[in-house]
Amino acid sequence: MTIWEAIEERHTVRQFTDEAVEEEALEALQERIRALNAEFGLKLSLHANEELQLWPGMTLFFSSGVENFILLAGPHGSKAAERVGYCGANLLLLAQQEGINTWWIGGTYSMKKVEGEAGGELYGVIAFGYGKEEGKPHRSKDAMRVSRYEGSEPEWFSRGVEAALLAPTAMNKQAFMITGKDAVVQVSYKAGAFSDVDRGIIKYFFEQGAGKENFRFADAE
């Protein structure tokens, strides 16, 4: 499965079967987590065959079988939060390529149970496994409402925006704006809970759609 196929086929899934995730897939995720932690200074961790305690209303009406998850943790601060979003998005698409369904959870889990295991500030959780169904595409805003390119819009920019519109966000909101000029791209996100995390998610999806060789982010070091 190509990365673009993963972007198109990934949908949020909240109900999972009790089928154990294949060891090869778990190792692929573990290896990627080790690499991301080393490169970005984070504390992402994978937990397999371990029940995630969700809010009672979620387990009663919306979700089931959440027994595999990734804790998205790192240092305190907005830059770390953005890196968590960026790296979490990386893991979402790798999971999809491995045939695994995912659910990015912003805050409907028991903080008390998992904070001690996180080893750092906890920014969210990715639940994963084999879904009872493949999920459905979410409703997306029109590209004209979330993007603007000064001058003639190149194809890579359009593809990047298309990918960003297919990304999940921690609070299920597409409150971002992507602007571009002379192959320099700026991603801004409306201030609010998880906005830094969401900006990182959008950046990663945009980058995969646009091709990182075609542009640079305005705030890149």
Report the CATH number at residue 88: 3.40.109.10
Q: Please state, in angstroms and rounded to a whole number, the distance separating the CA atoms of residues 157 and 210.
A: 6
Print the domain residue range for 97. 3-129
Residue where a domain terminates, one of 99, 129, 159: 129
For residues 159 and 92, membership in a common domain is answered with no
Q: Please state, in angstroms and rounded to a whole number, the distance separating the CA atoms of residues 53 and 120.
A: 19
Residue 113 lies in a domain: yes
Q: Please state, in angstroms and rounded to a whole number, the distance separating the CA atoms of residues 13 and 128.
A: 8
Residue where a domain terminates, one of 129, 151, 176: 129
Q: Which residues contact 26 (CB under 8 A, 6 or more apart)?
A: 46, 48
Instruction: Give pTM, 2 decimals.
Output: 0.89
**Could you tell me the pLDDT band of residue 194, with boundaries at 50, 70 and 90?**
confident
Q: Which residues contact 37 (CB under 8 A, 6 or more apart)?
A: 43, 44
Number of domains in the chain: 2
pLDDT tens per residue, range 72-87: 999 998 899 999 999 9
pLDDT tens per residue, range 49-68: 887 766 444 443 355 667 89
Q: Which residues contact 221 (CB under 8 A, 6 or more apart)?
A: none
For residues 125 and 147, membership in a common domain is answered with no
Q: Please state, in angstroms and rounded to a whole number, the distance separating the CA atoms of residues 163 and 70.
A: 23
pLDDT tens per residue, range 15-34: 889 899 999 999 999 999 99
Calculate helix-pair angle for 195-210, 155-165, nearest 10 degrees: 140
For residues 162 and 87, membership in a common domain is answered with no
pLDDT tens per residue, range 88-100: 999 999 999 999 9
pLDDT tens per residue, range 124-182: 889 999 998 877 666 666 777 889 999 999 999 999 999 999 998 766 678 899 999 99
